[in-house]
């Protein structure tokens, strides 16, 4: 390809409303353009990258035995009513009406449609397992689309759905998909982790997320330094201490703490560590009007997902307002404590392991110190309530947890019978008995991967593509090509040899200054670059620079192809 025949749409200025680096670079390098909030056009350069990701995903899905299909984007409301999601799904589900006033939606996901297909097509266990996938533009009407294609309203997704006569068969395919996803992200050259995850609104039992590691990631993931344990922090268990709780030593005492509103205030005033305090959070209970107090160590954060799974706690979690707190204990948020509350109390393992701790006195402007469970208040129900932190022991007993930021790009679920039961999808088993189908579903955010890869791979000059995702492998940049015949001849000859060798090469034959050409090729992230200029040519040489190299090296013109082949082979 020649830049003279290719839409090079690089921008010098950073667009104002792009908050994160991948969004800025995708605009600046000319990968995408915004049409409207959350709606982006993929320009030729961006689409080349997107297609590379798509191809790797398709190849690995086929290799894993999944079969590609293509379902309509427009889905009839009736199927969503059958599964119950027509009511459950919020306004992200873009509902539409056709000219005959029938209700439809634009599919964010296709569980209903594919379950309907399979219940009509498959009647016997003999045709199972069946794993169907598609790579398709999905729609989610985000309330606040942002971060470019990272959270857009249209996005390209690979969604797969597997069907099974038994739970064992589902687990088997789930593992095959886990391996396929691993292969996909490895082939794409991304640093990633598969982590245990919450199944959320999709439902089902087991679930893993695949995260591309990047400091800008929205999710925190925890993984062991001593084993392959990894989980979304939402899901990572905080283990109870292995030693018994220390014995009380101090005397319970209520002290005046004027102006203290937070744990930090309290620690400063008392000269103690947050890990010697507890904080009490009042939340709504699952029964109307009931309340539950959650007690955590002062330095720990509540994990909402864990809390929502507790018996007696309302889901989704609702924090009580200050009036409710005052009505219950006589004090505001700043002096709320776990003693004598008259409601159910649940303490985190770490809070329950403390001796001689400080907490609110349920009297404004006052706290109590040297509080001890069983001596000063009953030991409450104990549960895992908190977010894990770096250094926590790994839940599998091996090593300690580290925390990194990740961008979720894949999610696989063992759905079980959630949809098949609601939609009455079953087959006859070996014994001729009707059994409900077991289902798995497996998503990959194809367009999201492009943005995540940039978050992980960029520098001051722009994008640094992993080889497998690069829109072009090699840029040939002739200097003064329009004036120097020698440069033009050399550039055209090398270009032709590269094309003949099957390389994806971009010849920058624009009549632009060298600085502009260099900047564009670096911004666009092309892994290899050959510069052809009169000065080096006079010595029979070209200049090579890898995208991550700091300096260019000279290469004899005659050795260029061998040199490039070697450089490219080294990357694979």
Total of chain residues touching its own copies, rule CB under 8 A? 48
When asked if residue 12 is in the footprint of its own copies (CB under 8 A), the reply is no
Sole binder of its own copies in the list 17, 55, 63, 68 (CB under 8 A): 68
* Cα gap 473→229, rounded to integer Å: 36
When asked if residue 542 is in the footprint of its own copies (CB under 8 A), the reply is no
Q: Which two tokens stand for residue 260?
A: 């203290």
When asked if residue 529 is in the footprint of its own copies (CB under 8 A), the reply is no
Phi first, then psi, for residue 302 (nearest 5°) are -65, 135
Angle at the Cα of 21 (from 20 to 24), degrees rounded to 5?
A: 90
Quickly tell me which residue has 């911004």 as its tokens. Answer: 523
Sole binder of its own copies in the list 121, 396, 549, 566 (CB under 8 A): 121
When asked if residue 428 is in the footprint of its own copies (CB under 8 A), the reply is no
Sole binder of its own copies in the list 60, 116, 509, 522 (CB under 8 A): 116
Is the distance from CB of 276 to CB of 298 less than 8 angstroms?
yes
Binding mask 151-190 for its own copies (x = CB under 8 A): --xx------------------------------------
Nearest approach in angstroms of CB 347 to its own copies is 41
Nearest approach in angstroms of CB 16 to its own copies is 15
Question: Which region, judged by CB under 8 A, interacts with its own copies, from 139-147, 262-270, 430-438, 537-545?
Answer: 139-147
- 3-class DSSP assignment, residue 288: coil
b/e per residue 505-528 (b: at least 16 CB within 10 A):
bbbbbbebeeeebbbbbbbbbbbb
When asked if residue 64 is in the footprint of its own copies (CB under 8 A), the reply is no
When asked if residue 503 is in the footprint of its own copies (CB under 8 A), the reply is no
b/e per residue 70-95 (b: at least 16 CB within 10 A):
ebebebbbebbebbebbeebeeebee
Sole binder of its own copies in the list 19, 39, 241, 559 (CB under 8 A): 39
Nearest one of 350, 400, 402, 349 to 220, comparing CA atoms: 402
When asked if residue 504 is in the footprint of its own copies (CB under 8 A), the reply is no
Strand partners, 296: 279
Sole binder of its own copies in the list 137, 175, 205, 286 (CB under 8 A): 137
Nearest approach in angstroms of CB 47 to its own copies is 5
Q: What are the contacts of 427-430 at 24+ separation with CB within 8 A?
A: 427/122, 427/123, 427/124, 427/125, 427/127, 427/128, 427/165, 428/123, 428/124, 428/125, 429/125, 429/165, 430/125
Sole binder of its own copies in the list 20, 61, 128, 139 (CB under 8 A): 139
- 3-class DSSP assignment, residue 126: helix
Question: Which region, judged by CB under 8 A, interacts with its own copies, from 111-119, 249-257, 273-281, 519-527?
Answer: 111-119
Sole binder of its own copies in the list 59, 141, 219, 301 (CB under 8 A): 141
Cβ closest to its own copies, residue 145 vs residue 395: 145
Element (H, E) at 160: strand 154-164
Q: How long a stretch of residues is the chain?
A: 572
When asked if residue 113 is in the footprint of its own copies (CB under 8 A), the reply is yes
Q: Which residues contact its own copies by CB under 8 A?
A: 5-7, 9, 33, 35-36, 39-44, 47, 50, 65, 67-76, 91-92, 94, 96, 98-99, 104, 106, 113, 116-117, 120-121, 127, 130, 132, 137, 139, 141, 143, 153-154
């Amino acid at each position: 390809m020649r830049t003279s025949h290719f839409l090079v749409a690089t921008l010098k200025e950073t667009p104002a409303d792009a908050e994160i680096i991948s969004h800025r670079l995708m605009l600046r390098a000319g990968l995408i353009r915004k049409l409207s909030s959350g709606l982006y056009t993929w320009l030729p350069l961006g689409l080349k990258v997107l297609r590379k990701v798509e191809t790797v995903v398709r190849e690995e899905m086929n290799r894993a035995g999944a079969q590609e299909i293509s379902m309509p984007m427009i889905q009839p409301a009736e199927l969503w009513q059958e599964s119950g999601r027509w009511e459950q799904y919020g306004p992200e589900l873009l509902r539409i009406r056709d000219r005959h006033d029938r209700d439809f939606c634009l599919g964010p996901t296709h569980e209903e449609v594919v379950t309907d297909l399979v219940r009509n097509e498959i009647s016997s266990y003999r045709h199972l397992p069946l794993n169907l996938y598609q790579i398709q533009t999905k729609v989610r009407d985000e309330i606040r689309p942002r971060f470019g294609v990272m959270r857009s309203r249209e996005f390209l997704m690979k969604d797969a759905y597997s069907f099974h006569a038994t739970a064992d068969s589902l687990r088997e395919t789930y593992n095959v998909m886990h391996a396929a996803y691993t292969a996909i992200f490895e082939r794409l050259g991304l640093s990633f982790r598969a982590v245990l995850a919450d199944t959320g609104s999709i439902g089902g039992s087991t679930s893993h997320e695949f995260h591309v590691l990047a400091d800008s990631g929205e999710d925190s993931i925890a993984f062991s330094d001593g084993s392959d344990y990894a989980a979304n922090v939402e899901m990572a268990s905080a283990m109870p201490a292995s030693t018994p709780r220390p014995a009380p030593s101090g005397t319970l005492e209520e002290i005046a703490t004027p102006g203290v509103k937070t744990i930090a205030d309290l620690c400063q005033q008392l000269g103690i560590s947050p890990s010697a305090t507890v904080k009490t959070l009042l939340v709504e209970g699952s029964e109307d009007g009931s309340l539950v107090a959650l007690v955590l160590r002062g330095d720990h954060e509540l994990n909402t997902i864990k809390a929502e799974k507790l018996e007696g706690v309302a889901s989704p979690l609702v924090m009580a307002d200050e009036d409710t707190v005052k009505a219950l204990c006589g004090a505001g948020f700043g002096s709320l404590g776990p003693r004598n509350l008259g409601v159910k109390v649940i303490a985190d393992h770490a809070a329950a392991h403390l001796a001689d701790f400080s907490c609110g006195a349920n009297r404004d402007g006052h706290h109590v110190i040297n509080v001890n469970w069983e001596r000063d208040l009953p030991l409450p129900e104990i549960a895992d309530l908190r977010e894990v932190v770096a250094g926590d022991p790994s839940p599998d007993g091996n090593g300690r947890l580290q925390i990194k930021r990740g961008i979720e790009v894949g999610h696989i679920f063992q759905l079980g019978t959630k949809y098949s039961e609601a939609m009455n999808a079953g087959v006859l088993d070996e014994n001729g008995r009707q059994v409900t189908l077991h289902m798995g579903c497996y998503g990959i955010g194809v367009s999201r991967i492009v943005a995540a890869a940039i978050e992980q791979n960029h520098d001051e000059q722009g994008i640094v593509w992993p080889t497998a995702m690069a829109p072009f492998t090699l840029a040939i940049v002739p200097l003064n090509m329009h004036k120097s015949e020698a440069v033009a001849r050399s550039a055209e000859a090398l270009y032709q040899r590269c094309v003949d060798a099957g390389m994806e090469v971009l010849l920058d034959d624009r009549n632009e200054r060298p600085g502009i050409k260099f900047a564009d090729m670096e911004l666009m992230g092309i892994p290899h670059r050959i510069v052809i200029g009169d000065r080096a040519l006079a010595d029979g040489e070209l200049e090579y620079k890898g995208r991550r190299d700091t300096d260019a090296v000279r290469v004899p013109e005659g050795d260029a192809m061998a040199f490039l082949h070697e450089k490219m082979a080294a990357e694979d």
